[in-house]
A and B are shown apart, each in its own frame.
Chain A
Amino acid sequence: MSDFDLITIGAGPAGMSAARVAAEGGLRVLLLDEQARPGGQIYRNAGQTRDARAWLGAEYAAGARLVDALEHPGITARFGATVWRLDAGPRVVWSEGGASHSARAPHILLAGGAQERPVPFPGWTQPGVMTAGAAQILMKTAGMLPRDAVLAGSGPLLYLVAAQMIDAGAPPKALVETQTPRMMLRALPHLPKALFAARTLLKGLGLMARIRKAGVRRYTAATDLAADTETDGTIRFSFRSGGAQHSLTCALVLTHQGVIPSTHISRAAGIAHTWNAAQVAFKPVHDIWGATDRPGLYVAGDGAGIGGADAATAAGQLAALDILRSAGRISADARNQRAALPRATLFRARAIRPFLDAAYAPSAETLSPPDETIICRCEEITAGAVRQSVKEGAQGHRQIKTSLRVGMGACQGLMCDATVRGVLCDGKSACMGRIAPPRARTPIKPITLGELAALTNDCKETA
Chain B
Amino acid sequence: MAQTDADITIIGGGIVGLSVALGLLLAGRRVHVLDGADSDARASQGNFGLVWGQGKGWNFAPYASWTADALAAWPEFARKLSDLSGIDVALDQSGGYEFFTDMDEMDEFADMLAQQQRHLGTRFSHELLTGDELRSQMPGIGRDVVGASFSQRDGHVNPLRVLRALRRAVAAAGGRVSMGAQVDRIAPAHGGGFDLALKDGRSMGAERVVLCAGLGAASLAADLGFITQIRPQRGELLITEKLADRLPFLSSTIRQVDEGGVQIGGTKADAGMDDSETLDVMAGLARHAVTVFPALANVRVVRAWGALRVMSPDGYPVYARSSRHPGACLVTCHSGVTLASLHASVLADWIDETAAAPDLEAFDENRFALSSVA
Q: Which residues of A contact B (CB under 8 A)?
A: 85, 87, 93, 392-399, 402-403, 405, 408-410, 412, 436, 439, 441-443, 446-450, 452-453, 455-459
Contacts and interface: CB of A to CB of B under 8 A. Distances in A.
Contacts of A457: 280, 283-284
A410 B300 CA distance: 9
Interface string B276-298: 01011011101101100000111
A395 B167 CA distance: 14
B38 interface: yes
Contacts of A399: 38, 45, 179
Interface centre among B160, B177, B290, B302 (most CB of A within 10 A): B302
Contacts of A394: 38, 179
B283 A452 contact: yes
B301 A459 contact: no
A412 to B, nearest CB: 6
B299 interface: yes
Given A402-B45, A449-B290, A457-B280, A396 B298 contact: no
7 contacts: A93-B279, A405-B259, A410-B300, A410-B302, A443-B301, A450-B296, A452-B282
A87 B297 CA distance: 24
Given A402-B163, A448-B297, A453 B45 contact: no
Given A93-B279, A403-B160, 7 more contacts: A410-B300, A412-B302, A441-B303, A448-B299, A450-B297, A452-B301, A457-B283
A87 B37 CA distance: 28
Given A402-B163, A412-B302, A395 B179 contact: yes
B244 to A, nearest CB: 15
Nearest to B36: A395
Given A410-B241, A449-B290, A459-B283, A403 B163 contact: yes
B17 to A, nearest CB: 13
A415 B304 CA distance: 19
A85 B279 contact: yes
Interface in B260-283: 264, 277, 279-280, 282-283
Contacts of A398: 38-39, 42, 45
B302 A446 contact: yes
A456 B286 CA distance: 11
Contact of A459 (B45, B279, B286): B279
A446 B148 CA distance: 30
A442 B299 contact: no
B366 interface: no
B143 to A, nearest CB: 15
Contacts of A455: 279, 283, 286
Contact of B168 (A85, A392, A408, A456): A392
Contacts of A395: 37-38, 179-180
A396 B168 CA distance: 18
A448 to B, nearest CB: 5
A450 to B, nearest CB: 3
B298 A448 contact: yes
Contacts of A436: 38-39
Contacts of A85: 279
B35 interface: yes
B126 to A, nearest CB: 28
A394 to B, nearest CB: 8
**Which 5 A-B pairs have CB atoms at the shortest separation, nearest pair first?**
A396-B38, A450-B297, A452-B286, A446-B300, A453-B286
A381 to B, nearest CB: 12
Contact of B167 (A392, A450, A452, A456): A392
A441 B37 CA distance: 20
A85 B180 CA distance: 32
A393 B166 CA distance: 13
Contacts of B287: 453
A12 B259 CA distance: 38
B289 A453 contact: yes
Contacts of B180: 395
B305 interface: yes
Interface string B26-66: 00000000010111001001000000000000000000000
Contacts of A446: 241, 300-302
Contacts of B286: 449-450, 452-453, 455
A441 B42 CA distance: 17
A408 B45 CA distance: 13
A93 B39 CA distance: 27
Contacts of A439: 305
Nearest to A458: B280
Nearest to B297: A450
A410 B303 CA distance: 9
Given A403-B164, A453-B290, A393 B280 contact: no
B360 interface: no
B73 interface: no
A269 to B, nearest CB: 11
A409 B299 CA distance: 14
A397 B38 contact: yes
A41 to B, nearest CB: 23
Nearest to B298: A448
B202 to A, nearest CB: 16
B240 interface: yes
Contacts of A448: 297-301
Contacts of B39: 396, 398, 436
A459 B280 contact: yes
A412 B289 CA distance: 22
A442 B277 contact: yes
B288 to A, nearest CB: 8
Contacts of B296: 449-450
B171 interface: yes
A395 B38 CA distance: 6
Given A403-B164, A448-B299, A449-B296, A441 B277 contact: yes
B282 A442 contact: yes
Given A412-B302, A441-B305, A402 B160 contact: yes
